[in-house]
Amino acid sequence: MPVPKRKMSRANTRARRSQWKAQVPALVKTVENGRTVYSLPHRAKVVEDSVGTPLFFEYKGRKVADA
């Protein structure tokens, strides 16, 4: 693991940290059963029954995991 040779000043530390910015996630809008659903692309989505109980995870139309 790399170890710094010298102490980093407070100003330099804060300048480096200020470059980290949160990004808005790219949501994909789909309509399922007359309901608009927003989801993240390339992620497994939760399939729920009519009551709202999670049943399993689905990706590209296939079941990938149990909920």
Q: What tens digit of pLDDT does each residue of 12-53 get?
A: 999 998 888 898 889 989 887 888 988 888 889 888 898 989
Give the pLDDT band (50/70/90) at residue 60. Answer: confident
Phi and psi torsions of 63, nearest 5°: -75, 125
Rounded-to-integer distance, Cα 47 and Cα 53, Å: 9
Give the pLDDT band (50/70/90) at residue 8. Answer: very high
